Amino acid sequence: MRNILSLTKEEAEEIITSWGYPRYQASNLFKWLYTKRSRDFSSMTDLPKSLRERLSGEFRIEYPRVLQVSEAKDGTKKYLLSLEDGEAVESVWIPERGHTTFCLSTQVGCRMGCRFCATATMGLRRNLYWWEIVGQVLRLLEGTEGRVNIVLMGMGEPLDNWENVSRAIGILKDWMGFSPRRITLSTVGLLPILRRALEEFPNLRVAVSLNFPDDERRTKFMPVNKKYPVGEIIKTLKELPISRRERATVEYVLFKGLNDSLRDAEALALLLKGTKVKINLIPYNENQAFPWKRPPDEMVEEFASALRRKGYSVFVRYSKGNEIKAACGQLRTSWGKGSQPQGN
């Protein structure tokens, strides 16, 4: 039977009306699926009993299966989730002060080829469907209390799968109560789609992964820079339709001896002059796939201080979940088709 979470609202309306029920019952169904998060058609008491029976006879309600959960000392949890075709992705549950953050994947692997990211070593296996993106939220919400923020920073480049990501954001916004202000999308800089994303969701928070203040090094480590160079990124940042109180985020991963000098800080400050941004500094999370090292904390703080003296809002993001490889740039799974799903 088809997973009912794969239905769009329009498809649900078409099916329900073809069975002779009013169109509005599709809205009632979606409230049960996404707002109340019911996994049992029989509990959907404001749907006619005959409709509930018809739905349960032709559809199932299924979230991504939990294959494994790893927990770090800081409370961060990494979920290995199985998809219906036997592929799998990793999602991260991050405890924060006053809220929880869900880090979601949008692709199985990634084709951007950044030469410091473990996900890139997988290549791109496929895009996630929109209901698989929402399914990660539904699964991670189990047992979660209080406010939740969402970051699209897991496996994959969200803008490389915008059709599905857009639909997922629509479900999160319209049926699950997530304001786009509580959703952050991280991108390597697929600029035309970034503009389109903000036209569609004006309050969506965006983070551009810059990492190097010049084309030579950025192209070496991030091949996408050949198509969307640093100058075009800065031009786009200046033109983004961001409200007066909001700022885009520039993400800058610090690598020991590669881009962490005070000269680099000066170059970054000069490059970003005139842009409405805040800067997230991310000390590199080391992994075995690459030789790069994390700079000492004192170097990180000196870099941050140099930017603050230039008037920038700077946040150092010491990643959580490092010991379970759940930190930024570390997500990767060897799970694939033919592996035997387990869990619930």
Q: Which residues contact 36 (CB under 8 A, 6 or more apart)?
A: none
Compute CA distances 66 → 8, 97, 116, 256, 309, whole Å.
24, 26, 28, 36, 46
3-state secondary structure 2-33: EEHHHCCHHHHHHHHHHCCCCCCHHHHHHHHH
Q: What is the pTM of this model?
A: 0.92
Instruction: Kindly state the percentage of the chain with pLDDT values over 90.
Output: 83
Is 84 assigned a catalytic role? Answer: no
**In this predicted model, what pLDDT tens digit does every residue of 171-219 receive, in sequence order?**
999 999 999 999 999 999 999 999 999 999 989 999 999 999 999 999 9
Choosing from 103, 110, 114, 328, the catalytic residue is: 328
Is 90 assigned a catalytic role? Answer: yes
Distance CA 107, CA 113 (A): 14
The token duo for 172 is 């999160």
**In this predicted model, what pLDDT tens digit does every residue of 82-122 receive, in sequence order?**
999 999 999 999 999 999 999 999 999 999 999 999 899 99
Beta bridge partner(s), residue 283: 254
Choosing from 13, 87, 90, 251, the catalytic residue is: 90
Q: Where are the domains of the chain?
A: 2-60, 94-323
Domain 94-323 fold? TIM Barrel (3.20.20)
Distance CA 189, CA 180 (A): 19
Range list of H helices, the chain: 9-18, 25-30, 49-58, 130-140, 162-174, 191-200, 215-221, 230-239, 262-271, 297-309
Quote the crossing angle between the two packed helices 191-200 and 162-174, to the nearest 10°. Answer: 20
The CATH code that applies to domain 2-60 is 1.10.150.530
